[in-house]
Amino acid sequence: MNLKCVIIDDEQHAIDVVTDHIAEMPGLTLLKTFTSPIQALTEISTSDEIDLLFMDIDMPGINGLELAKSIRDRTKYLIFTTAHPDYALQAFDVQSDQYLLKPISFAKFALGIDRILKKESNLANNKPKEVDQTAALYIKGDHKYAFSNIAIEDILYIKALQNYIQIITKVETHTTYLTLKEIEKALESQPFIRVNKSNIVAKTAIKKVDGNIIRLVNNEMIQIGEGYKEAFFQYVQSFLLKSNRS
The predicted structure's pLDDT at residue 132: 46
**Where is 61: in which H helix or E strand?**
none
Nearest to 5, CA basis, from 19, 16, 14: 19
The predicted structure's pLDDT at residue 127: 60
The predicted structure's pLDDT at residue 25: 93
CB 78 within 8 A of CB 103: no
At residue 124, the 3 state secondary structure works out as helix
What mean pLDDT is predicted for residues 48-60? 96
Residue 7 has pLDDT above 80, yes or no: yes
Nearest to 157, CA basis, from 125, 190, 193, 111: 193
What mean pLDDT is predicted for residues 107-112? 93
Backbone angles phi, psi at 140, to 5 degrees: -70, 145
Q: What integer best gives the mean pLDDT of the chain?
A: 90
Q: How far apart are CA 206 and CA 156, in angstroms?
A: 8
List all residues 6 or more positions away from 107 whose beta carbon is below 8 Å from its beta carbon: none
The full set of domains in the chain, from first to last, is 3-126 (3.40.50.2300), 133-238 (2.40.50.1020)
Residue 116 has pLDDT above 80, yes or no: yes
What mean pLDDT is predicted for residues 183-204? 94
What mean pLDDT is predicted for residues 135-162? 84
- Would the CA dihedral through 234, 227, 211, 162 be positive or negative? positive
How many other C-beta atoms lie within 10 A of the C-beta of residue 86? 8
Q: Give the confidence band of 239 by pLDDT, cuts at 50, 70, 90.
A: confident
The predicted structure's pLDDT at residue 131: 44
Backbone angles phi, psi at 192, to 5 degrees: -125, 155
Q: How far apart are CA 193 and CA 175, in angstroms?
A: 20
How many other C-beta atoms lie within 10 A of the C-beta of residue 188? 9
What mean pLDDT is predicted for residues 139-159? 85
How many other C-beta atoms lie within 10 A of the C-beta of residue 58? 14
What mean pLDDT is predicted for residues 61-73? 95
95-104, 113-122, 212-221, range with the lowest pLDDT: 113-122
Higher pLDDT, 177 or 199: 199
Q: Give the confidence band of 200 by pLDDT, cuts at 50, 70, 90.
A: very high
> pTM, whole model, 2 decimals?
0.53
Residue 51 has pLDDT above 60, yes or no: yes
Q: How far apart are CA 134 and CA 55, in angstroms?
A: 46
**Where is 95: in which H helix or E strand?**
none
The predicted structure's pLDDT at residue 122: 84
Rg (CA), the chain: 31
List all residues 6 or more positions away from 103 whose beta carbon is below 8 Å from its beta carbon: 17
What mean pLDDT is predicted for residues 101-107? 95
